[in-house]
Amino acid sequence: MSLTGTYDPQNIFAKIIRGEIPAVKVYEDDTVLSFMDVFPQSEGHTLVIPKSEARNLLDIAPDALQNLIVKTQLVAQAVNKALTPDGIRIAQFNGEPAGQTVFHIHFHIIPAYDSQSEAPHASGQMADTDKLKALAERIKAEL
Ligand code: AMP
């Protein structure tokens, strides 16, 4: 699949934006949506996506990208206040060989804890929805 291929409006994040499938939301405004990753690498793994269509960092409009990274900082600050991790990794993958599995651009906010090991990327270990909802409530309270 080419890095500069056509945007597929049937990708799973486009369906979440349209409300066709559920997500445990943390933050939403006219331009971005943030929700809990259902296959979290660590406790509090959160995603931030633009509502506009873009596959990756190479084809997103510059103004949408600027807004996306600022909103990622906003959510990361709330994750930090809510969960007090020892570190936070911000990750973003472009193209399948680079690790991208959903072709709607997103930033990962992955808390890192001295006391917890991290699951691998896209491990397929689905989190308990009630636990994700409880984490989302704690993060939302800091926004
Ligand atoms: P990437 O591999 O960078 O494209 O990241 C896609 C991320 O989306 C992975 O971390 C998946 O765990 C996550 N993911 C996939 N499907 C869903 C979903 N329905 N809701 C929330 N997160 C998802």
- Taking the CA atoms of residue 42, residue 125, residue 92 and residue 24 in that order, the dihedral angle to the nearest 10 degrees is -80
Could you read off the pLDDT of 57-115 as tens digits, one per residue? 999 999 999 999 999 999 999 999 999 999 999 999 999 999 999 999 999 999 999 99
The active-site residue, picked from 45, 104, 106, 108, is 106
Q: pTM above the 0.95 mark? A: yes
Residue 42, classified by CB atoms within 10 Å of its CB into exposed (0-12), middle (13-18) or buried (19+), is buried
- pLDDT category of residue 23 using cuts at 50, 70 and 90: very high
Atom in ligand 1 nearest the alpha carbon of residue 36: 21
Check if 122 has its Cβ closer than 6 Å to any atom of ligand 1.
yes
Domains belonging to the chain, first-starting first, are 12-140 (3.30.428.10)
Q: Residue 121 catalytic?
A: no
pLDDT at residue number 122 = 77
DSSP annotation of 96 reads G
Closest CA to 45 of 114, 131, 104, 115: 131
102 Cα–ligand 1 center, Å:
6
Q: Which of 37, 42, 129 to mutate to test the pocket of ligand 1 (most atoms within 8 A of CB)?
A: 37
Our CA angle for 110, 53, 105, nearest 5°, is: 20
